[in-house]
Amino acid sequence: MLKSKTFVKKTRSGGIMKIVREHYLRDDIWCGSEVCTECKQEESVLQKDACIESNLCSFPHYLLPDTNVVLSQIDILEDPLIKNVIILQTVLQEVRHRSAPIYKRLKDILHDKEKHFYTFTNEHHRETYIEREQGESANDRNDRAIRISTKWYSDHLNNIPTDMGLKVVLLTNDRGNKEKAEESGLLTYRCEEYVKSLIANPELVDRLALTNDDKNEITSSKVLFPEHLPLSRIQSGIKSGTFQQGTFRASRDNYLEATVFVHGEGDDSTEVLIQGLQNLNRAVHQDLVAVEILPLNQWVAPSSVVLQDEGPKEDDVTEEEEEAELKSGPSGAGSRKPTGRVVGIIKRNWRPFCGMLFLSQIKEATRHLFTPADRCIPRIRIETRQAATLAGQRIMVAIDGWPKHSRYPNGHFVRSLGSAGDKETETEVLLLEHDVPHQDFSQAVLSFLPKMPWNITEEDMAVREDLRNLTVCSVDPPGCTDIDDALHCRDLANGNQEVGVHIADVSHFIRPGNAMDLEAANRGTTVYLTGRRIDMVPELLSSNLCSLRSSVERLAFSCIWEINDKAEIVKTRFTKSVINSKASLTYAEAQMRIDDANMNDDTTKSLRGLNRLAKILKKRRIEKGALTLSSPEVRFHIDSETHDPIDLQTKELKETNSMVEEFMLLANISVAQKIYDEFSECALLRKHPAPPPSNYDILNKAAKSKDLVIHTDSAKALADSLDAAQVDGFPYFNTLLRILATRCMMQAVYFCSGMDSDFHHYGLASPIYTHFTSPIRRYSDIIVHRLLAVAIEADSTYPDLMDKHKQSALCNNLNYRHKMAQYAQRASVAFHTQLFFKSRGILNEEGFILFVRKNAIIVLIPKFGLEGTVFFENKDKPSPKLIFNEEAPSLTVEGHSFNMFDKVKVTISLDASNVQHQKIRMSLVEPVISGVSVVPSEPEPEAKRTKLDR
């Protein structure tokens, strides 16, 4: 049966176009139930014995949720207890339009065969399709379609000759829809009503999201926040310039302060400061908000006070009481910033948050405050009957809403992650909090892996260069199994040398658009945590078939240069190849070969040739203005049984680290130029923007404190200034200055060449750059391999590769994933550092002051590459006299002045008083200041050390 809709549309040129949309209706759409004998279905999804213990429904039944139930109660639908659910096409389409994340979660449930969720195509079934009536809203039409489909299902199952007594239960929280359904004789319940009727499932009740009625119940009558403006008012305000829209970024250090990052034209952007509860107006970190800029006389300076939301505030606490401490920030006109207030929310960016429950002091209370692990997120009030069980556990909570009468947002329990402090639990928390995809690879992804045993075929050899005879070797950190790159160097007859960089040919195994490719594109990067690796591609590829291990034949993408004695490139070529690495070395092993005069085998000769050329290349790069910056990296030695850290030290870099780096940089630059020459509009490149002059303020102040001048007008000037910055008797000064210079830098980012004009890489002083050398662990490199393969006619192209808009969107995801991976790695190091110090007790160490704050100094301990804060204000004792000089910057404590880079001695210990936010605590030992410094701790006797120390 064919239905058609006809409507007219005005074209750009002013003409009228008639459009006819055909809509096919069918009789052969199956109901999906095992009990049905009428529908000729190949495979049934809904079970015969659809039994779930309920006080309301003592009979077998299928659930049919409406759109709002799916949108608000997805956590309930994901629970293993909820099975045999009918999802109508109407509902699926509405969810898709209203929430992409929930739509993805719903699709995942539908694909899970154990859940028995069935999609019924009601919009194409002759008996369930309905037309929209005159004057009927789209929402009302969809509600009616849901009721009609529920009625059809009920009648259809009733007509089946069986004594099962199967019924269909419509779940809706819409009062009007429920009343109309009941009038039609349908079995209908509110979602909350149904869930609470389920026997012996208290956890499921906790997972209920609050409905609007519930939200009003648990808030006070006093209005605490201004009303949010409707979207129509916001849109007209933005258009007229009254409001600005931007991303809300809450402060980690001060819960009463935030900034809104307003995007301008091109690279222009401004930050609007928001201070005070009323002005923050219920915005949550990363929400897209509308702000109104306040008059100039109401602009304020950022507060330099560290303010944590520690106590459970009641809704009647006055704003004045809470915000009194804010006023202690600098108030000079020079330090004031554009200040505003949030007038409305354009788009919420809520996600389930990890954290801990802090139990209410009221006996037998069911409402408690949840404190998120991320200090940028406000506390969330939830209702739970299993608070005693959840105390001391890491749990996940989702926000349901934030009424204007409530001091905190309202939410619901999602799931428990495990005991706080447990290594597996804490790792899970940091992966979830940094949005790192870490689930096992799906069967759909694994189905695209090559069948084992895998071998290089004659067809492969026919289209590749055979380089198996070359003395190729790899040099990597110890324990590396995902070997991306290998090198060779040999003498040519004309006196020049041939150097090759051979990169794993991952794009041979991962073809565009398949499930494995989509998964790798989403993950973006491999994430390296302490003692754990979350792969971007399945392990069969990352540690085996793509890994350039020694003594096995592997497919590679080779970049080969002819280089003269002055390390100048005479000729460059790119080729798909087959290699057989002769050695997999660590940096230390390669260094020993180079240094050992008795070793003269081909691999060692190759390494010496590479090392000699690398030194010339590095010298030339630095002369051009490339920066040599510094950041203290740490390495843990892990106990093989307990997997706890037993030693912690800064990483030592060898000449061979630099050797490998030089040739990777050279390959990346050579490939960048090639793909840009071939595809000027869609090359995937990487740039490092020059920092704005204001970024260097702290570096200039630090240098000035030692009577030195740092020139920052170009990368070359900065590099030369850093080289010349030496202080007699203070050899570590230059390293400290470089660490500080690193903090001034901008983030390097991926971009599409057709969407940008500034390609320059500031840190490398290179006019063009990309990533080609690590395709096992970076998706950007896979795209670059595909572009290069098309450029040398070794592979065919595909539409998305040549679409600059799609490339740009991909770059945005890659930049996000790389940033979050970095944060997750830092969090993992911080957690393992805490484990290390937990077993060590209190240590005394020397360090240097990196930053001076209003009430604290931030100290770097070079031995451990560790940063910590020494606070001079303590709740338990009277505060010392503090004088802060922002210009220097310096802090005078009881007459003793602290400046940047001063040497101090501190005690280091783990402060575990807050289970959720354990931190490294430092206390001053030297210089000795009466009432401020502490007595150095005595080292623990050997007998008292824990097993971890041995």
Dump pLDDT digits (tens) for 807-865: 999 999 999 999 999 999 988 888 888 888 877 778 888 888 888 888 888 888 888 77
Task: Name the residue with higher pLDDT: 677 or 14.
Answer: 677
Residues above pLDDT 90, as percent of the chain: 44
0.95 exceeded by the pTM?
no
For range 413-422, the mean pLDDT: 88
Confidence check: pLDDT of 438 > 70:
yes
For range 429-455, the mean pLDDT: 91
| pLDDT band, residue 643 (cuts 50/70/90) | low
**pLDDT of 120:** 93
| pLDDT band, residue 387 (cuts 50/70/90) | confident
List the beta strands (DSSP E) in 348-481. 353-358, 367-372, 380-383, 393-401, 410-419, 465-466, 473-476
End-to-end CA distance of the chain: 79
Instruction: Quote the CA–CA distance of 696 and 763 in Å, as a whole number.
Output: 15
For range 51-62, the mean pLDDT: 87
Residues above pLDDT 70, as percent of the chain: 89
From 403-412, 803-812, 883-892, the region with the lowest mean pLDDT: 883-892
For range 404-419, the mean pLDDT: 90
Confidence check: pLDDT of 68 > 60:
yes
The per-residue pLDDT for range 732-759, each reduced to its tens digit, is 888 888 888 888 888 899 999 999 888 9
From 83-97, 284-298, 629-643, 727-741, the region with the lowest mean pLDDT: 629-643
- DSSP secondary structure letter of residue 747: P
Buried b (16+ CB within 10 A) or exposed e, 620-631: ebbeebbbebee
Give the DSSP letter string of 885-917.
Answer: ETTTTEEEETTEEEETT-EEEEEEEEE-SSSTT
**pLDDT of 328:** 45
Confidence check: pLDDT of 474 > 70:
yes
Task: Name the residue with higher pLDDT: 697 or 22.
Answer: 697
Largest CA distance in the chain: 97
Confidence check: pLDDT of 584 > 90:
yes
Task: Name the residue with higher pLDDT: 498 or 204.
Answer: 498
Instruction: Quote the CA–CA distance of 36 and 548 in Å, as a whole number.
Output: 56
**pLDDT of 5:** 63
Give the number of other CB atoms < 10 A from CB of residue 43: 8
| pLDDT band, residue 301 (cuts 50/70/90) | confident
| pLDDT band, residue 945 (cuts 50/70/90) | very low
Confidence check: pLDDT of 318 > 90:
no
Query: What amino acid occupies position 226?
Result: P
Residues forming a β-bridge with 16: 10
Task: Name the residue with higher pLDDT: 209 or 8.
Answer: 209
For range 45-56, the mean pLDDT: 85
Q: Which residue has the tokens 């009536």?
A: 133
- DSSP secondary structure letter of residue 757: S
List of residues 6+ apart from 36 with CB closer than 8 A:
30, 44, 156, 157, 160
The per-residue pLDDT for range 901-925, each reduced to its tens digit, is 888 998 888 877 766 777 788 888 8
**pLDDT of 928:** 84
List of residues 6+ apart from 804 with CB closer than 8 A:
681, 682, 752, 753, 754, 755
**pLDDT of 552:** 94
Confidence check: pLDDT of 646 > 80:
no
CB of 510 closer than 8 Å to CB of 547: no
CB of 355 closer than 8 Å to CB of 369: no
**pLDDT, the chain, mean:** 85
For range 31-39, the mean pLDDT: 85
**pLDDT of 307:** 59
Confidence check: pLDDT of 942 > 50:
no
| pLDDT band, residue 653 (cuts 50/70/90) | low
Radius of gyration of the chain (CA): 32
From 36-45, 180-189, 491-500, the region with the lowest mean pLDDT: 36-45
**pLDDT of 470:** 95
**pLDDT of 757:** 87
Confidence check: pLDDT of 879 > 50:
yes
Are β-strands 187-189 and 167-171 bridged in parallel, bridged antiparallel, or unpaired? parallel
Confidence check: pLDDT of 316 > 70:
no
| pLDDT band, residue 364 (cuts 50/70/90) | low
Helix axes 89-98, 100-111, angle to 10 degrees: 140
For range 447-453, the mean pLDDT: 93
| pLDDT band, residue 884 (cuts 50/70/90) | confident
Task: Name the residue with higher pLDDT: 68 or 702.
Answer: 68
The per-residue pLDDT for range 161-200, each reduced to its tens digit, is 766 778 999 999 999 999 999 999 999 999 999 999 988 7
Highest mean pLDDT pick, 204-208, 316-320, 878-882, 932-936: 204-208
- CA angle centred on 289, ends 402 and 298, rounded to 5°: 100
Confidence check: pLDDT of 330 > 60:
no
Q: What are the tokens at 369?
A: 């405050």
